[in-house]
């Protein structure tokens, strides 16, 4: 992912911002996957 940083503020740490965003997206993907597994498990084991 390329970010154009030439027009930004010099004090902005774009590399850290990009790393934080990537971590956030990765965490959301993991949470959604775990919720899908949980719901599938509930459908299998709790529904008579």
pLDDT in tens, 25-35: 999 999 999 99
What's this model's pTM, rounded to 2 decimal places? Answer: 0.74
Task: Give domain limits for the chain.
Answer: 16-48
CA distances from 30 to 3, 7, 13, 14, 39 (A): 25, 34, 26, 24, 14
- Quick: pLDDT tens for 8-47: 777 888 889 999 999 999 999 999 999 999 999 999 999 8
Contact between 23 and 32 (Cβ < 8 Å): no
């Amino acid at each position: 992912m390329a970010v154009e940083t030439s027009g930004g503020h010099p004090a902005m740490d774009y590399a850290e911002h990009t790393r934080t965003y990537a971590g956030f997206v990765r965490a959301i993907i993991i949470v959604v996957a775990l919720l899908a597994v949980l719901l599938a498990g509930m459908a299998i084991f709790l529904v008579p």
